[in-house]
Amino acid sequence: MTVENLMQALLLAACLGLGGFCLALTRRLRKLNDLETGLGGAIAIMAAEVDRLERAIRQARDEATAASQGLAEEIETARRERAIWDLRQRIGAAAAEAPRTEGRRLRKRAGVADG
């Protein structure tokens, strides 16, 4: 056997080995891209989940915005009511501190005695 024949035999063996390797890769790639059990199915499921999560996030954002607006309205109403309450407290305090001499003077003029 010559060196040339030996090289051709090695080349033939390498080609057969690479052919077998390519067949194995092809089978694995088909399994990987299978839409039901492979990576393709996993990608499809993940895409559906991402869409579902985006819808949930949009809905949560809308609900949070509505709740925030409602809370802002309630805070404004509470501030107005607090201002009215403070005003009533001041009026009541001012009425309690007001001198009552006016009433006595009027009664004395009318001839009514204090009791």
The pLDDT tens digits along the chain (115 residues) read: 788 999 999 999 999 999 999 999 998 888 877 767 777 778 888 999 999 999 999 999 999 999 999 999 999 999 999 999 999 999 988 888 876 655 566 566 666 555 4
- pTM, two decimals, is 0.47
Tokens at 99, concatenated:
């001198």
> What is the model's pLDDT at position 104?
61
Name the residue range of residue 73's domain.
Answer: 32-94
Number of separate domains in the chain: 1
**Any domain includes 52:** yes
Longest dimension (CA), the chain: 153
**Any domain includes 7:** no
**Any domain includes 3:** no
**Any domain includes 21:** no
> What is the model's pLDDT at position 72?
96
CB 104 within 8 A of CB 114: yes
> What is the model's pLDDT at position 1?
73
The CA-atom distances, in angstroms, between 38 and each of 29, 43, 48, 51, 99 are: 9, 9, 16, 21, 92
> What is the model's pLDDT at position 38?
73
**Any domain includes 60:** yes
> What is the model's pLDDT at position 19?
94
**Any domain includes 13:** no
Alpha-carbon distance of 43 to 45, in angstroms, equals 5
**Any domain includes 5:** no
**Any domain includes 27:** no
> What is the model's pLDDT at position 33?
74
> What is the model's pLDDT at position 101?
58
